[in-house]
Amino acid sequence: MRLLVVEDDRDLNRQLVSAFEQAGYAVDRAFDGEDGQFLGETEPYDAIVLDMGLPKKDGLRVLEAWRKAGKTTPVLILTARDRWSDKVEGFDAGADDYVTKPFHLEEVLARLRALLRRAVGHATSEFCCGPVTLDARAGRVLVDGNPVKLTSHEYRLLAYLMHHMGRVVSRTELVEHLYDQDFDRDSNTIEVFVGRLRKKLGIDIIETVRGLGYVISSPAKVQGQGK
């Protein structure tokens, strides 16, 4: 899963990016409204964390521009403005959630997880397929209740596929959502990560759809294969 952080306070930006990366996300960053708006319009993020008080272009105007352009990416607003009228203005502009500074990073992470779940119509932090469970809150994967150790890229790949369970995801889409902007992207590595995941999980829940990409089947289909 890939995030964008638009925050002009460099220390806070760094803290947010570090926390998100430790939680298993790929993260891009911007420090002003103009750069943030450009990235949000041109890159395929799963969610965006947006400060309201930005230089060059106010966060509210950035958000309005994204929505007018048809961008539906979930947006979590960070702001020092705590008046109810400011919150209403932010929601009316297209925000999905709102956190007032100062805040705890754990709360921001929890709100992000909720935004990502709602975006794919999922109610809880746990994604299950047969014996495989991905706990997005804890950032861990279990098979038959036993933890499986994955690298950050393996975890991101599995998490993205499980968030979009039942839908064929192309290699191009996976590359766009697994790596940050500065990463040297190579779609061939996706096949490598899929192979590693299949080996580590010990059950092939990831199906290759020739010429299209990969899909994680529904839990019922996986359970049926195991009978």
* Rounded distance between C-alpha atoms, residue 192 and residue 187, angstroms: 10
| pTM, two decimal places | 0.78
Looking at residue 60, its pLDDT comes to 92
* Structure tokens, 116: 């990502």
What is the CATH classification number for the domain harbouring 104?
A: 3.40.50.2300
Cα end-to-end span (Å), the chain: 32
Number of domains in the chain: 2
pLDDT for the residue numbered 148: 94
Q: What per-residue confidence (pLDDT) applies to 225?
A: 46
pLDDT at 227 (0 to 100): 39
Residue 1 burial (CB count, 10 A): 22
Both 7 and 96 in one domain: the answer is yes
The upper half-sphere exposure of residue 183, i.e. CA atoms within 13 Å in the direction of its Cβ, equals 15
Question: Considering only CA atoms, which of 120, 123, 112 is closest in space to residue 19?
Answer: 112
Cβ proximity of 225 and 171 under 8 Å:
no
DSSP designation for 217? P
Residues 81 and 165 in one domain: no
In this structure, the answer to whether residues 139 and 164 fall within a common structural domain is: yes
Q: Which of 119, 140, 157 is the last residue of a domain?
A: 119
* Per-residue model confidence (pLDDT) at position 51: 94
Domain that holds residue 213: 126-225
What 8-state DSSP symbol labels residue 137? T
Q: Kindly report the length of the chain.
A: 227
How do residues 102-120 score in pLDDT, each as one tens digit?
899 999 999 999 999 888 8
pLDDT value, residue 80: 83
Statement to judge: residues 150 and 177 lie in one domain: yes
Give me the pLDDT at residue 159, please: 92
Query: What's the pLDDT tens digit per position in 62-72?
Result: 999 999 999 99
Residues of the chain with pLDDT under 70: 182-187, 218-227
Query: What's the CA angle centered on 109, arms 15 and 82, to 5 degrees?
Result: 80
